[in-house]
Amino acid sequence: MRTQEDNVKRVRITMQEKVTQLESQIQNKLTLAQTRRKNLEQEQLEKLREHNVVKLAEVRHIIEGMDSFKTEKTTKELQERLEIAELNREKELQKKLEKIQEKERRAEMVRQNKERLATQNEEQQTASSG
């Protein structure tokens, strides 16, 4: 009996040590993964910063390279595009208004026809009753 209890205690102690080791290993892996993740984030941020610096330099160069003629030309082109877009919006709005008015006319015709039919039915009922 004593040896069996000793064996059980030894097995429990051994299992407890293994569990502790596994927990320690898991914690180490989690720590390493977190460190790797942070390092990757830092690398990505650095790459983005470098990319932004390059792009900003390119944009500044382009802006500095543009002279007043190009700026005026671009402004005129943009203004023309805006005017065309406004005209197109007005045309679309006018089309929608016409469709709405047409639907309203049709609805009014339907109401009038319905009223006329109701009146005719009343007259027929009155005539057939009378």
pLDDT 10s digits, 34-70: 999 999 999 999 998 998 888 888 888 877 776 666 7
Q: What is the pLDDT of residue 130?
A: 58
Residue at a domain's end among 65, 91, 117: 65
Instruction: With respect to residue 18, please indicate whether it lies within any of the assigned structural domains.
Output: yes
Query: Which candidate, 69, 53, 50, 49, places its Cα nearest to that of 61?
Result: 53
Mean pLDDT of 3-28: 93
Give a yes or no: residue 88 inside a domain.
no
Give the count of domains, the chain. Answer: 2
Q: Give Rg (Cα) of the chain.
A: 42
Domain of residue 125: give its range: 101-130
Which letter, b or e, does each residue of 19-29 get, where b requires 16 or more Cβ atoms within 10 Å of its Cβ? Answer: eeeeeeeeeee
| pLDDT on residue 80 | 94
Question: What's residue 25's pLDDT?
Answer: 96
Q: Is residue 75 part of a domain?
A: no
- C-alpha span between 22 and 124 (Å, rounded): 97
pLDDT tier at 14, thresholds 50, 70, 90: very high
